[in-house]
Amino acid sequence: MIFRLHKNSPEVEGIVHLDGSKSISNRALMIRALSKKSFQIRNLSTSDDTKAMEALVTKKDGTLDVGPAGTTFRFLTAYFATQEGDQVLTGSARMKQRPIGALVDALRIIGADIQYLEKEGYPPLLIKSPKDLGAQSVLDIPAGISSQFISALLMIAPVLPKGLTVRLVGNLVSASYLQMTLDMMKYFGIEYEFKEQAISVGPQSYCPTDYLVESDWSAASYHYAIAALARDVNLTLKGLFRQSTQGDAATIALFDQLGLKTTWLEDGLVINKGGEKKALLEHDFILCPDIAQTLAVVCGAMGVVGALTGLETLSIKETDRIEALKNELAKVGVSFAKAPPRFSSRSGKTFYLVEGKADWSGVPVFPTYHDHRMAMAFAPLSIIKPVAIEDPEVVGKSYPDFWKDLVSLGWQIDMV
């Protein structure tokens, strides 16, 4: 299926009630399962990933297929490693290409019984009842691996007989997601100590408490992109918190540099035009990698030079997002490429440059590479001229109502 997107008017006005954050929702579901007592989770994400987490975390024995849900796979690997019974945990073809070895190694050290069923270091996994859970209570973990691995270990730490100390070795990536995990654990009564790259969590119990999930800042970023490309905008986004645990809340500061003004309400915010658009946007996305695609496309659409760093994890996401951005931005005359070494030498970071101003004839067709964020990052271009998006259903992974919300804001969507 292909969606052809077009908007007759370059102005945007309306109200969008954003879905709950997938990242927060999946952590809340994990904590509820570990607490062994029910509590209410309000504004739970309706994403495919969260639906999978909610359905599978209560299963006992059998084959559990998470599809393409990476967070769900990692959290369930740790969860079932602490439970009695045998589970086969599997996923989509892409999931079987995403490494899980570092998490499995760590879980084995603390007593988990996990076997690889196909390729060593990758899904699917056979997870059996633990042999001697908590036999070791100190782990050295490379800080440069996915923060989801570390979060998964920390969330099971309170239920281990001796607790767990995780010593982070090297530079931490996606630290905001790790802090989100610790903040949520604290909300549910867990005490921890984070000192000199070591996080210690003693044996204790989660306190079941009703919880309100903040709306998703990753989803909000696509509406900021629309606002940046609109001629005029008065757009209200509901459900976001001014004091957010999400790293993607950096969206406000980034789009402030692209000529947008954010005004806070009691239950959300309003986006208007205001301020100066800068000619260069330089940012390190190490704390917010999920909005890097959004900003790369917006920079290209506005003719703003983008100098982006902190993209180390993008190549192992739902697709190789670096290569996908390069391929698809080229269709509208925008270059996305690694900067020459001399450009990066001043900081030691790897820069990717967005250069050019988007222009196209006809209707470019953007494949999504089975990646929800590719679909939603490129869709805002349609406020300039029509574009087409392949496999539009992929947005269900994180933002099922994305197309519905665009229609409510005046978009015309035709199925080709």
Positions marked catalytic: 290
Using omega within 30 degrees of 0 as the cis cutoff, is the peptide bond preceding 124 cis?
yes
> Looking at residue 346, what DSSP letter applies?
T
Q: Phi/psi at 132 (nearest 5 deg)?
A: -150, 70
* CB-based burial, 183-222: b 16+ in 10 Å, e otherwise: ebbeebebebeeeeeebbbbeeebebeebebbbbbbbbbb
Tell me the C-alpha distance between 211 and 190, whole Å: 15
Q: Using CB atoms within 10 A of its CB, is residue 138 exposed (0-12), middle (13-18) or buried (19+)?
A: middle
How many angstroms separate the CA atoms of 184 and 214, rounded?
A: 12
Contact of 127 with 145, CB cutoff 8 Å: no
| DSSP letter for each residue of 269-337 | EEEEEEEEEPSEEEEEGGG-GGGHHHHHHHHHHHT-EEEEE--TTGGGSSS-HHHHHHHHHGGGT-EEE
Three-state DSSP at 200 gives strand
How many CB atoms lie under 10 A from the CB of residue 67? 17
What is the spatial distance between Cα 306 and Cα 281, in angstroms, rounded to a whole number?
5
CB 358 within 8 A of CB 301: yes
DSSP conformational letter for 256: H
